[in-house]
Amino acid sequence: RTHAHTHKEHAHTHRESEGGGSHTHIEGEEHEGFDFGETFIHQVIETIEFVLGSISNTASYLRLWALSLAHQQLATVFLNMSLIGPGFECENPLLRPIAIYICFAIFMGITFGVLLCMDSLECFLHGLRLQWVEFQNKFFKADGYKFSPFNFHSTLAEPLPEGSGMGGASE
């Protein structure tokens, strides 16, 4: 018998229950077969996800651009309605500095309350969106190990392995 003939006798194909891929087993070796239908469906799904993700990301950045334009217009309106109009149009030259001072306080309160707080919230939510939507869609696959963050307490509580050379009375 030839070596190739022995391989043909021992080769068999089986379907894995989890992966669904076709595998050929030859004397202790495992080779993945190519399943065109499964690969095609997988690539179509990936393409649809990519296109929808691109549209979603573009819409998100257009939303940020629109908010920045709206904030610029709001700042102009707040300036004209609270400071420029009432403060500088005061008829009495003795009351004009007091009116400008009061109108400036109103302008700063409105600007802080509306624009700066909204911008801070917008920045926070955009950073959160980048982490959870864009980063998680690109790199995160929930098929690995459970995440356990580094913890000094649990690390220091574990005993050192024998012969590690770290501390101890034998040194």
- pLDDT score at 7: 41
Q: What is the pLDDT of residues 25-47, one digit of tens each?
A: 445 555 567 889 999 999 999 99
Share of residues in the chain with pLDDT > 70 (%): 74
Give pTM, 2 decimals. Answer: 0.45
Helix (DSSP H) and strand (DSSP E) numbers for the chain = 7, 3
Strand partners, 13: 24
- pLDDT score at 6: 41
